[in-house]
Structure formats: structure tokens, C-alpha cells
Amino acid sequence: MDVTPGSRAAGRSVAEREAVAWPLAGVVVRARGESVALRVAVQRLCALGCEVRFDGAPPPGGSPAGWLGVASTPFGRPGEALPECGIGWSGPVGVPMAGEHDVQAACGIAHVHGRAAGGPRALRLDYASVCAGVLTAQALTAVLLALLRGGPALAARTSVAQAALLALTQYIAVATCERFDPPLSAGRVPAPGEGRVPPFRSADGVRFEIETFDAECWRRFWELLGAEPMAVAAGWPPFQQRFATATCALPAGLGRTAAAACYRDVVAAAADAGVSVLPVRDADAPLAPPPASPWRLRALTETATGAAAGAATKAAAGEPAGLPPLARDARGPLAGLLVVESTNRVQGPLAGHVLGLLGADVVRLEPPGGDPLRGVPPMAGPTSARFLALNRGKRALEADLKSAAGRRAALRLIACAHVFLHNWPPGRACSYGLDHDDLAPVRPSLVYAQAGGWAEALPPPQPMGTDYLVQAYSGVAARLAGPGEQPTPSLMTLTDVLGALISAEAVVAALVARARTGAGVRAGTALIDAARLLRATPLPTSPPTPPAIPPGSPPATSSGAPPASRAAAAVTDLAAMADDPAFDQVLDRTPQAAYSRAPWTFVPAPHHEEAL
């Protein structure tokens, strides 16, 4: 068969697309263990093109929840140690933990999730383990990127407890800061047995969630349904603050108003008022098929991969394909890389924060006057504690992206960046002239990452892509319900946090693809991806209710396992937890507040003979 230049180019294009979609192709990893965290990490690595082999041996000491070790890689150096990552339960936390239930109790997840119910309550999902699995895959991908950049082989260590604390960093910051700066309006915790709304229930039996960030839209919605003005006014503060407080005790009159309306009238009122509304669906409700790549990795533009062949040759020869070399003494595998982000609320800022914890230099694009969330109480000095929990260590550039001058300033910054990350709603990037097609001529090798809400799960026009709507529609809320309970989203921001970790994971994977191909890469993730991952995780068996650990119990052993089978006591005060010396190695304590530290440590990798 004759091979024409066109067919050779087409074949090369297909190969380059595959190299972008599966950036870890050719990497072989050994796996040991059987925890949910390990299984999630293995699934993520396989989706990146990695070959994972379970060798049947137990995890090495210090990694009771699992271990992953690179066995071979196409870009390693002969004779050098290879990267690995170990997973513990307690990790550096000096509290004995031997499973998910212990972690949720000892690290505060049960406390935050249970606030709306009046007391600690375990999530009926292995949430901390899923987060730890994503962080594990992210860490191993990052240390492989370090190799591609000429850096040292690194061993990463993480734990399910550290994942839990990262998931709660904003709640810990607020709890510790409130001792010095009490909030203007703290969320009221309902008494035991008291009903909680939302979700609401319509006259025809449909349970539903609503969302708006606009007080006038809130007022208009309830006015159309005939609610009492005083109840509407009293309900706005707890509704608006529920993302921060994990409580939402609304006036009972709003629930009665919703119960008097048919769901079609609720939908009509929401459309008129500009409020998003969705039903709370069953745990097995169908979702749109998942994308071929969980991170939607693809070339920055359709023509970008054509320029990658020369760079791919350089990468195979050990050159970093346009990424700066990694110094041997770098503080993290992403050191020397510039990330520009334009994000708000939780998902986007936390994704950028995770990249910063991996060593990247992160610069925020903020509107003139700065992000309004900087001034939301409680304050840690001049800045909101909650804002600092998600944005510490970042630099900021103020630019009005609605103006030509602001867009030019953004473009100048992005032209020097390795990553651009945003969580704008659909259509905004195009309106700013900052979509991937706009940026490709400015920075052809850019990693362009979007952290969204719904992706392709719902047709346009889409509802707001926020945590509680996604929990409700995806079936996650139903999975959280116990026997005989009504499906109810957790007011802990489950998909926001996990969605942020998945977004950061996508950026690291895209950087590997860029390093191996030289092409600019697009990555797209969404809160619905976090919901899919939670739905795909088997429900845990109901844990027993053992006695609390008495004071003075011995700490975890050097292997990371508790010395006895007693279960961890449930935290009921995050500020007290933050003061506990058992958390010294995992929390940064400042005079104003405490924050979660990086959920991994990186040290030079031992040779495998020494590690096993």
C-alpha cells in the first residue's frame, strides 16, 4: 500500500492526539494494597495511559492504605531510583486511625457534615478515601513530570487524614479565626429532630434544590410563589452563607410555601426570577455518558499537535520540551512553573491552591479593588480567613477583563505562563476574548484548564453549576441518605472540593502531555465529574459505634497503623482540633487562624531494593 505524505501526517496527528489524551502511556507501575484510596488512584492512572500491575505483596511499612511504585518509564534515567507514592491512614497525624470511619470522625468531616443535623454524622461515602486517591494519582503524575523536567526521582507520601484536612481547610480557618473575629451572623444549628430546608418538597411530591447568588432573584422567586416577605428576608442570610457554615436553618414558612406549589409552578417562578432549580434524583438516576478522557485532555487547537513532533523527539531524548528544568533542590515538582488563574468561590481557587502546594507560582487575576471575598468575615488580619484558606501564597494582578486595557494586561501575563486556569460559566471566556482559540496564538504551548459545573451533562442553557445542585441532580444526595431517610445534599461542599482536586489533577496530567509532545493542551473538568466519581465508589458497610478513645491513648505506630483496634473519637470542635498537638505536622497555625498544610511530602526516592 502506498503511504502518501497526507496519510503520514494524519497518522502522526492521531498518535499525537493519543499522546495528549494518555500522557502516561509507556509507564508501568506496581500496586500494593486494596483500600478505596488505592483503587481510585489506580483507576485514575490507568485512564492516563499507565499500566498498573498488582504484585500481591502487602504495602510496605508506613503505607497501610496502599503503595504505588514506578517499575519502568520511557523517560527515566538508567541506574536512577524511580518515583513512588505511599498512602497512610493517619499519616503525620498523631491520632490512631485504621479506616475511613476513623478519619471522618477524627479529622472533622463527620462534624461538618453533621452540623445541619445537630451533631456529628458520618458520610455514607468513603469521601476522604476518594479524595486521597485523586491526590495520590496527582502526586505520582507530578513526580513523573519532575523526571521529565530533568529533576530528581521523588517519593511522595500522603494519607487519607491529610486529604480530609485539606477538604476542610476553609472550615478550619473559619473556626479558628472566629475566636478572635466572631462572624456577623453565624449559621444556626438546628435542634435534634428539627427539619431542614432545602431541599424543598412541592405539592406534587417533587423534592428540589434551588440556587442563586442574587438577593433580588431570591426575593422575586419567593414573591411569585406567595411567601411572606418577612420569611423571605429572614431566609436570605442563612441560604447565602450555607457554603461557609454547612448549615441552612430557613424559616419554616418557606418550606410551607414550596409545599403549596406544584413543581411546574416552581420551575416557572424560577425561570421568571433567574433562579436555578433542579429535582433531587435517585441514586441510580442516569447521567450523560462520561467523556473518553475523564479530564477531557486534547490539543489546545486542532492544528497544535502538528508542531509537536520535534518537541516529542527532544522529550524522548531527555529534554524538557519547553518546560523549565526542575532544580535538584526544588520545593515541589511544579516549582518554576507559572499558573495564572481567574477563579472564584471554592472549586477554582482550591485547584490553584493545590497547584501552589505542588510548587507552582500562582498569580490570580482579580477585578479592580480585589476579589470581593477578601472582605467576607471572619477576618484573619486584613483578609478573610476563608479566602486565605484557598488562596494563601498566591500573587494577584487586578485587571478589569471587561475592558480592552484589562484584557491586554491579562494577555501579557498569560503569554509568560505555563497554565491558565479559570472557572467561568459557559460563554464568558469567549466574551472576554480569552478562550483557548484566543490564547493559542499568544502562547501556543499553554495548558488551558477550565473548571466548570456541568460539562456535557445537561444541555444549554444550563443551571448554575454549584455544589448542592450537582449533588441533587447527580444522585449523590440520594447515596448519602440512610435507610428510611429522604435524599438530601450534604451542606459540606463535597463536589466543590473533589472537583477542585480533579481540576488540579487535570492540570498536572496536561503538563505531562505538554512535556512529552510540546503541544499546548486543553483540560476540562466539572463538578459533575466529582459526582460521577463518588457514584462509582461502592457504598461502605455501616461502621460500628465503638467507644471514644480516652485521653492519653498512645499515638499511631511508625507503620502508620493504630496500636489497637479502637475507633477514633468524633471531633465536635474544629478550633479545639486545631489546637491539639496531634495535628502539629499537618496544620499551619498563624496568630489569626489555622490552615491545612500540603497533603503530601516529597523526598528523594530510594532504590526499589531499599524501599521494599
pLDDT, tens digit, for every residue of 411-425?
999 999 999 999 999
Average pLDDT over residues 548-576: 57
Separation of CA 298 from chain center: 21
- Residue 197: the pLDDT is 67
- Residue 608: the pLDDT is 62
What is the C-alpha to C-alpha distance for residues 434 and 161, in angstroms, rounded to an integer?
A: 38
Average pLDDT over residues 252-265: 97
3-class secondary-structure state, position 402: coil
Is pLDDT of 42 > 50? Answer: yes
- Residue 78: the pLDDT is 81
Is 282 one of the annotated active-site residues of the chain? Answer: no
Position 481: which residue type? A
pLDDT, tens digit, for every residue of 198-255?
899 999 999 999 999 999 999 999 999 999 999 999 999 999 999 999 999 999 999 9
- Residue 464: the pLDDT is 97
Reference 88, options 559, 586, 527; nearest CA is 559
- Residue 322: the pLDDT is 72
Contact 18, 297 (CB under 8 A): no
C-alpha cell at 200: 424543598
Give the whole-number percent of the chain exceeding pLDDT 90. 81
- Residue 338: the pLDDT is 98
Helix, strand, coil share (%) of the chain residues, nearest 5: 40, 15, 45
- Residue 330: the pLDDT is 81
Is pLDDT of 329 > 90? Answer: no
Set 438, 496, 529, 573: catalytic member: 496
**What is the CB neighbour count within 10 angstroms for residue 279?**
18
Average pLDDT over residues 319-340: 85
Average pLDDT over residues 509-533: 97
Reference 242, options 234, 230, 232, 250; nearest CA is 250
What is the distance in angstroms between the CA of the first residue and the CA of the last residue of the chain?
51
C-alpha cell at 413: 501575563
What is the C-alpha to C-alpha distance for residues 599 and 90, in angstroms, rounded to an integer?
A: 12
Cis ω for the linkage preceding 463 (within 30 of 0): no
Contacts of 496 (CB under 8 A, 6+ apart): 243, 345, 346, 347, 350, 466, 467, 527
Is pLDDT of 563 > 50? Answer: no
Mean pLDDT (the chain, rounded): 89
pLDDT, tens digit, for every residue of 132-186?
999 999 999 999 999 999 999 999 999 999 999 999 999 999 999 976 666 544 4
- Residue 387: the pLDDT is 97
Contact 326, 146 (CB under 8 A): yes
- Give backbone dihedrals phi and psi of 453, rounded to 5 degrees, phi first: -110, -55
- Residue 478: the pLDDT is 97
Contact 113, 18 (CB under 8 A): no
Confidence grade of residue 189 (pLDDT, cut at 50, 70, 90): low
Confidence grade of residue 79 (pLDDT, cut at 50, 70, 90): confident
Confidence grade of residue 607 (pLDDT, cut at 50, 70, 90): confident
Contacts of 497 (CB under 8 A, 6+ apart): 131, 166, 167, 346, 347, 350
Query: Among the residues of 307-346, which ranges form H helices?
Result: 309-316
51-65, 273-287, 296-310, 551-565: which range is least confident on average? 551-565
8-12, 112-116, 379-383, 578-582: which range is least confident on average? 8-12
Average pLDDT over residues 50-74: 96
What is the C-alpha to C-alpha distance for residues 527 and 454, in angstroms, rounded to an integer?
A: 6
- Angle 268-273-279 from CA coordinates, rounded to 5°: 50
Is pLDDT of 558 > 60? Answer: no
Average pLDDT over residues 363-375: 97
Confidence grade of residue 564 (pLDDT, cut at 50, 70, 90): very low
Is pLDDT of 518 > 70? Answer: yes
Reference 164, options 87, 69, 237, 234; nearest CA is 87
What is the C-alpha to C-alpha distance for residues 228 and 55, in angstroms, rounded to an integer?
A: 65
Is pLDDT of 359 > 70? Answer: yes
Reference 448, options 520, 553, 378; nearest CA is 520
Name residue, grid cell 479524595.
Answer: 131
Is pLDDT of 309 > 70? Answer: no
Average pLDDT over residues 327-355: 95
312-316, 327-331, 376-380: which range is least confident on average? 312-316
Is pLDDT of 556 > 50? Answer: no
Reference 267, options 186, 318, 204, 321; nearest CA is 204
What is the C-alpha to C-alpha distance for residues 337 and 360, in angstroms, rounded to an integer?
A: 5
Average pLDDT over residues 360-382: 96
Average pLDDT over residues 23-49: 97
Strand runs labelled E in 150-238 = 154-159, 200-201, 207-211
Contact 160, 37 (CB under 8 A): yes
CB-based burial of residue 208 (10 Å sphere; 0-12 exposed, 13-18 middle, 19+ buried)?
Answer: buried
What is the C-alpha to C-alpha distance for residues 605 and 530, in angstroms, rounded to an integer?
A: 31
